[in-house]
Amino acid sequence: MPLHAAPLSRRSFLAHSAALAGGLLTLRSGFAAEPAVNPSRFALLSDTHIPSSPDVSARGVNMTANMRQVVQEVVALPTKPAGVIVNGDCAYLKGLPQDYANFAECVTPLREAGLPLHVTMGNHDDRDSLYAAMIAQKPENPVVQTKFVTVIESPHANWFLLDSLTEVNVVTGEIGEEQRSWLAKALTQHADKPAIVMAHHTPQFEAPPEGKPWGGLKDTAEFLELLNDHPQVKLFVFGHSHDWSHRKQGNLHLLNLPPVAYVFGEGKPNGWVLADIQADQAHFDLKTLDPRHSQNGERVTVIWS
């Protein structure tokens, strides 16, 4: 379920957000009227793991403080992005209502700065809790009944935001047959531009040992076959493993976003990514929370042709 929150002046994120979930959001030349906004630039966040209280820390990290830092960095950009996408695991562990209340406080400066916010579901999120807090965002007629999906059109590429949540606080993710069917049709209908597909869970290329759960997408094979069947799909963006990385499988780029919260390996970066989508290519620049980190400023480039 992607949720979309339109900009507000000085309002509560939870109580007064605009509903665009489950449909089509178009970012076109209307942004040109305001030169300070780049309609082809997006801030990408993942794995924020915001707890119920700002005082809560995990793995030596205060997740609320990290999120506040990232939000301030995005707000301070000299040119505004067209939107901010949080790719799942917004909440700490079980998607409690208080987690989303704290999350709301953290992202309020984005919305006050006029930046649209888009949110997808991770395995630590809870649809019911998030819906209860953001009832205005729940689509009345979702195009996929069990999952909530969205296409965001931007000048040089289309973004397809998917929902890989299966069960709250269960590590396994799945796109599912119904959502894959919708995606196949949507990709066929939007074949005029490069496509960027985004979901929370990592691809998992081998089945786990017997008795062990899938740690990533249990339908990875079917999902990637679908993406490869549509040549305009150039990139799959995901989070979940808290591991900034990039690889290619055939012609498909796989980009793993860093966590805003804590990392799972010593020395790995946490932070966010600034995506700059151009007519012939796209750049994805890593912004580490620690500006002294050796990987700060790393760039991944995806050539469309």
3-state class of 208 per DSSP? Answer: coil
- Res 163 pLDDT > 70: yes
Question: Can you tell me the mean pLDDT for 166-184?
Answer: 96
pLDDT in tens, 74-85: 999 999 999 999
- Res 18 pLDDT > 70: no
Q: Residue 128 — pLDDT band, cuts 50, 70, 90?
A: confident
Question: Can you tell me the mean pLDDT for 130-151?
Answer: 60
8 A C-beta contact, residue 261 and residue 268: no
Percent of the chain residues past pLDDT 90, beyond the cut: 78
- Res 87 pLDDT > 50: yes
The CA distance from 190 to 185, in Å, is 9
The three-point CA angle 284-288-292 to 5° equals 125
Question: Can you tell me the mean pLDDT for 190-206?
Answer: 97
In this structure, how many other beta carbons lie within 10 angstroms of the beta carbon of residue 5? 27
Boundaries of every domain in the chain: 3-303
8 A C-beta contact, residue 155 and residue 188: no
Model's pTM, two decimal places? 0.89
- Res 137 pLDDT > 60: no
Q: Residue 111 — pLDDT band, cuts 50, 70, 90?
A: confident
Q: Looking at 47-61, 138-152, 172-186, 275-289, which range is the least confident one?
A: 138-152
Q: Which of 165 and 149 is assigned the larger pLDDT?
A: 165
The CA distance from 117 to 3, in Å, is 8
**What was the pLDDT predicted at 36?**
85
Question: Can you tell me the mean pLDDT for 195-207?
Answer: 97
**What was the pLDDT predicted at 140?**
54
Q: Residue 8 — pLDDT band, cuts 50, 70, 90?
A: low
Residue 278, token pair as written in the block: 């151009």
Q: Which of 129-143, 146-160, 184-198 shows the highest mean pLDDT?
A: 184-198
**What was the pLDDT predicted at 135?**
53
Residue 12, token pair as written in the block: 């509560």
Supply the mean pLDDT for the chain. 88
Q: Residue 129 — pLDDT band, cuts 50, 70, 90?
A: confident
In this structure, how many other beta carbons lie within 10 angstroms of the beta carbon of residue 219? 21
- Res 19 pLDDT > 70: no
CATH number of 3-303: 3.60.21.10
DSSP structure class, residue 33: G
Which residues, listed in sequence order, are joined to residue 64 by a DSSP beta bridge? none
DSSP string computed for 165-207: B-STT---B---HHHHHHHHHHHHHT-SS-EEEE-SSPB--SP
199: closest CA among 255, 156, 146? Answer: 255
3-state class of 70 per DSSP? Answer: helix
Question: Can you tell me the mean pLDDT for 283-288?
Answer: 98
Read off φ and ψ for residue 109, nearest 5 degrees: -60, -30
Radius of gyration of the chain (CA): 18
- Res 102 pLDDT > 70: yes
The CA distance from 151 to 23, in Å, is 7
pLDDT in tens, 20-33: 334 566 554 444 44
Longest dimension (CA), the chain: 57
Close Cβ partners of 79 (under 8 Å, ≥ 6 residues apart)? 36, 37, 38, 41
